[in-house]
Amino acid sequence: MAALKRAPPSPLFTPDGRYIVVRGRLWRASNPNLSAEVRTALAYDLAAARRAVKAALRLSNPDLLAAARAAVDAAKIALGERGPPWWTDGAKDYNRYLVKNTPYAEWYEGATREAEAAPDRNS
């Protein structure tokens, strides 16, 4: 009998939707103001660029690798995950900060405590 594959857990978003949390670190979320069509096209571009990085690494081709990494960067900037923040209220950008070193620390502590206390629905 084959083992059932579990879906990867959904990322934990900060209450304001600006970041996802990965292993205790904040990563800027995509701009929620993008249309579904634009977001889908950019996600496709990002996936293609990541495949190009993998291929360039396999070929040990530094020129292809540089071009592929530039394409990844361009897609991430277009998605709002890099470059200037997509929000307009002037709030500081905490991209790549450890959550514990940001104003989200108290929220995250409560969210992780809640998650640990919740029963495992996938068992």
Gyration radius of the chain over CA positions: 18
Distance CA 44, CA 93 (A): 26
Distance CA 15, CA 102 (A): 13
110 with 104: CB under 8 angstroms?
no
**What are 42-73's pLDDT values in tens digits?**
999 999 999 999 999 999 999 999 999 999 99
Confidence of residue 10 (pLDDT cuts 50, 70, 90): confident
Distance CA 29, CA 19 (A): 5
Mean pLDDT of all residues belonging to the chain:
91
